[in-house]
Amino acid sequence: MSTSPNDLIEGDVAEEEEEEERMREASDTAIRRAFREDESRRSAPLTPENAMRVREAMRGVSFAGLAPDWVGQVPEDRWIDQLRRLREPQSAPSTVQN
């Protein structure tokens, strides 16, 4: 049984397509992993030292009386509660008040 030149070309094309698909899958996997790691870093609680550094850095920031766009969309008590929760120690159990 002999192999024709067309069979060799088709085999090469198929191998190249498979390699491209493997590379796409590897790239997609790396992108998904990077997004997960980034989200993990973003949602990780600040250490007390880093929280203090942020507060110190923001202490001198002024918005010249201009409120951010989200102010009208989020009730004040809600974002204040969120800020308070962020400042609580991680080990403190949350309580529900009625």
pLDDT single digits (tens) 18-48? 999 999 999 999 999 999 999 998 888 888 8
Instruction: Judge contact between 75 and 39, C-beta under 8 A.
Output: no
Residue 4 in domain:
yes
| Rounded Cα gap, residues 4 and 47, in angstroms | 67
Residue 98 has pLDDT above 50, yes or no: no
Residue 29 in domain:
yes
Q: What is the pLDDT of residue 22?
A: 95
Residue 65 in domain:
no
Residue 97 in domain:
no
Residue 55 in domain:
no
Residue 25 in domain:
yes
Q: What is the pLDDT of residue 3?
A: 64
Residue 68 in domain:
no
| Rounded Cα gap, residues 87 and 46, in angstroms | 9
Question: How does pLDDT run across 40-75, given as a tens digit for each residue?
Answer: 988 888 888 998 998 899 888 887 778 778 778 888
Residue 92 has pLDDT above 70, yes or no: no
Q: How many domains does the chain have?
A: 1
> What is the domain range of residue 41?
1-50+74-86
